[in-house]
Amino acid sequence: MSRTALRRTQLTDDVAEHLRHRIMTGDLRPGEFIRLDETATTLGCSVTPVREALVALRGEGLVRSSPHRGYVVETLNRGDIEDIFWMQAELSARLASHAAGSPALDTHLATMRDTVDSLADAVEAGDHAKVLAAEFAFHRQVNLTADSKKLAWFVYSAGKYTPYSLYARDREWGRQAVDSHRRLIGHLSSGDSASIRAEIHARFADARDRLIRQLDSIGFWDQTEPGSASSATSEPATETA
């Protein structure tokens, strides 16, 4: 693959992440058309990676294509949110259990503790970027300890639907994450699989409920279904390449 192709692939992934976040947080509503030209202008890129990103999101069931009209956001209901977070909890609990049984666990525990300390500092400082970085680093340490590449890939894929930047701005969530990670380290150290599973499921249940409350607060569930008369009023003109 050429260097240009690699850059475009990364750009396409970045655009998909941007749009996925907007959909999951309700910034883009079911039935709303996504304009290729406007999105490209906003992100400072060409239309090509936007179109490629939308094709990828169509494969994920987040948007659908409408002939001669572009792409429209698919319906996202409470059951979808619950399923997404349940799946993440199940996969993450399994991966953490592998980490607990890993011979390399002891070599990673100190780094995990240091990372949680960094997370705590970032939360109290209100540094959202550092909160995200520390949160990612902690989970990466668990993944490395587990040494289960296929399962880690599934966890990563499922995690794409979690709007972490939404949580990173919530100090209460951050403090609870710090406490939860410290408890999880203790459970990993003792090899307590039941407590590992319970801790992780509790964290994802909390994240699920926070997202549902956020969507409730903006009236996300009140809009009309895709294809209804009111959604048709937002139909864009046909986009050009």
CA distance 158 to 146: 17
Query: What DSSP string runs through 210-221?
Result: HHHHHHHHTTGG
Give pTM, 2 decimals. 0.84
Mean pLDDT of all residues in 116-133: 97
- The mean pLDDT of the chain is 89
Mean pLDDT of all residues in 110-133: 97
Could you read off the pLDDT of 159-175 as tens digits, one per residue? Answer: 999 999 999 999 999 99
Nearest residue to 137 via CA among 163, 108, 157: 108
Would you place residue 239 in the very low, low, confident or very high pLDDT band (cuts 50, 70, 90)? very low
Ordered by where they begin, the domains of the chain are 3-75+225-232 (1.10.10.10), 78-217 (1.20.120.530)
- Give the pLDDT of residue 8: 54
- Give the pLDDT of residue 83: 96
Query: What DSSP string runs through 124-158?
Result: HHT-HHHHHHHHHHHHHHHHHHHT-HHHHHHHHHH
CB-CB contact of 235 with 33 (8 Å): yes
Could you read off the pLDDT of 48-78 as tens digits, one per residue? Answer: 999 999 999 999 999 999 887 789 999 999 9
Evaluate if residue 229 carries a pLDDT over 90: no
- Give the pLDDT of residue 157: 92
Mean pLDDT of all residues in 185-210: 97
CA 83 vs. chain centroid, Å, equals: 14
Number of H-type helices and E-type strands within the chain: 11, 3
CB-CB contact of 92 with 162 (8 Å): no
Evaluate if residue 232 carries a pLDDT over 90: no
End-to-end, the C-alpha distance of the chain in Å comes to 23
- Give the pLDDT of residue 7: 57
- Give the pLDDT of residue 237: 37
Single-letter amino acid code for the residue at 102: S
